[in-house]
Amino acid sequence: MSRPIILEKLRRLHQAEEAPSLPSRVPDFPRYPDPVEQFKIELERVSGVFLDGRNPELVRQALERVLNDAKAGEIYWESEDLFARHGIPSQLRDPEAFRRGQLVSSSHPLRQVRLPLTLNSHQYSRQTLAELTVSASSAACGIAETGTILESTAPGVGRLLPVLAPIHVAFLRRQDLFMNAADFFSRVSLGDRASYQVLVTGPSRTADIEKTLVLGVHGPQKHYVILTN
């Protein structure tokens, strides 16, 4: 009932008026000689951790660091695409896990990192997902200006895993790094391929009590970004 009433009111109001035009161009946003360095500085400024993963050995070290920090034995992710996309060496993972499509627990000593995986996390209840410690995902892109990554749903990728786990690792390819927010919003068409995208900058935070900063209120408390080639 309300729709025609509201629209009619708005039509009557606007009929006689000349609309001020939309500005033709977006004001300049900063550009950086070294976008990776800028990304790292900004990420660290908001208590995120930047890890270089620009060759397979560096990826291994980065993942080992995450597991060591977390005192965890597993990292969970949803999409197999991640391996090819980020050049993750096959010896770092359990090649059978995706095929089995189940949660795998491992007792591998941390020195020989193997990464048990889950493929179809929707088979598992929210409660099961909520008990996982470390989640990983592939960032669709990043923004150097603010140290931001874009998480995105996709076929085989949902909304829950990266936000429920207290520790999150995002893989970001160097070539997917935008200079600034204006570049991002003018080149990425929102919602084209995903029902949900979220720009993430550092770990979850609040300052709701006396404006005192506390990390990890609802989302992850630790936020890693591994930059790959």
Q: Which of residues 144-163 bind other proteins (CB under 8 A)?
A: 145-146, 148, 153-161, 163
**Of 63 and 200, which CB lies nearer to other proteins in the complex structure?**
200
Site for other proteins in 65-94 (CB under 8 A): 78
Q: How many CA atoms, within 13 angstroms, populate the side-chain half-sphere of residue 67?
A: 23
**Of 33 and 155, which CB lies nearer to other proteins in the complex structure?**
155
Residue of 6, 44, 91, 96 that binds other proteins (CB under 8 A) = 6
Total residues at the site for other proteins (CB under 8 A)?
78
**Shortest gap between Cβ of 215 and other proteins (angstroms)?**
8
Nearest to residue 133, comparing CAs of 167, 109, 100, 103? 167
b/e code 161-191 from CB counts within 10 Å (16+ = b): bbbbbbbbbbbbbeebbbbbbbbbeeeeeee
Site for other proteins in 13-52 (CB under 8 A): 13-14, 17, 19-23, 26-29, 42, 46
Site for other proteins in 176-215 (CB under 8 A): 180-182, 184-186, 189-191, 194-212, 214
CB 197 within 8 A of CB 148: no
**Of 58 and 198, which CB lies nearer to other proteins in the complex structure?**
198
- From CA 171, how far away is CA 72, in angstroms rounded? 19
- From CA 66, how far away is CA 134, in angstroms rounded? 9
